[in-house]
């Protein structure tokens, strides 16, 4: 058996809470764990339908004997106690729409180059698509995918929104729901590597990755995916 990647005190501390929460909120199936490499860097590109998703992303990675590093909004580092866990476990704050945004991508790249598993939700927030399909995504995921030479894996959650639905303000932990986290095989990006990294390329690669995520979600849901990504309206 492959040895578990060492996570240190704060990962072990977080696991004490994440595993019970994962069991509390639903009966989860973790599919496609064989696609996550046992060692070395990997970028997990996931959809986002509920605030519960990070719990199950973390469990998927940890059950695969790896340590998850999330690109997460920087405001979480302002939460007492949680900020200690985030810093101590090597999570990566994301500063959107600011001069620090590029620093977040640099830190993500460093983690991948150092052989870590990085989890990213490219939509940047919980999808506003009424049916729960992925929205048009931000291009930071493409920068990470193209500036490192690690497997880029699509991943999806389904069922978590049935438990906690942010936009409809519903929390329904009972009866316990069946949840699914599925990871697909690495996306072949060889045709895009070596090209000048510009806005056109970043959008092309971002959309390719999100199409793979959408196709994987369609498999899990057992229904056809929409042809277009939902786009946020200006507020």
**pLDDT score, position 143:** 94
**pLDDT score, position 168:** 93
Residue 18 in tokens? 């994440």
**pLDDT score, position 99:** 55
28 to 11, 154, 164: CA distances (angstroms): 21, 18, 15
Cα angle vertex 110, ends 69, 56, to 5°? 15
**pLDDT score, position 16:** 92
Residue 106 in tokens? 């640099």
**pLDDT score, position 98:** 53
- For the question of whether the overall pTM of this predicted structure is more than 0.75, the answer is yes
**pLDDT score, position 235:** 41
**pLDDT score, position 76:** 84
Stretches in the chain below the pLDDT threshold 50: 234-235
Residue 23 in tokens? 């069991």
């Amino acid at each position: 058996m492959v040895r578990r990647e060492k996570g240190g005190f704060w990962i072990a501390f977080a696991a004490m809470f994440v595993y019970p929460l994962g069991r509390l909120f639903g009966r989860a199936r973790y599919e496609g764990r064989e696609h996550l490499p046992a060692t070395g860097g990997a970028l997990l590109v996931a959809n986002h339908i509920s605030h519960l998703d990070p719990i199950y992303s973390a469990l998927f990675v940890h059950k695969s004997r790896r340590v998850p590093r999330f690109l997460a909004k920087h405001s979480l580092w302002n939460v007492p106690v949680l900020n200690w866990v985030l810093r101590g476990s090597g999570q990566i704050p994301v500063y959107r729409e600011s001069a620090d945004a590029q620093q977040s991508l640099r830190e993500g790249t460093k983690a991948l180059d150092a052989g870590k598993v990085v989890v990213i939700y490219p939509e940047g927030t919980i999808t506003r698509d009424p049916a729960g399909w992925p929205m048009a995504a931000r291009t930071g995921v493409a920068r990470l995918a193209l500036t490192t030479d690690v497997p880029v894996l699509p991943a999806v959650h389904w069922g978590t929104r049935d438990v906690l639905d942010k936009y409809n303000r519903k929390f329904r932990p009972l009866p316990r729901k069946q949840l699914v986290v599925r990871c697909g095989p690495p996306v072949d990006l060889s045709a895009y590597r070596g090209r000048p990294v510009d806005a056109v390329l970043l959008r092309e690669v971002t959309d390719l990755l999100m199409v793979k995520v959408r196709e994987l979600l369609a498999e899990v849901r057992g229904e056809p995916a929409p042809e277009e990504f939902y786009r946020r309206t200006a507020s």
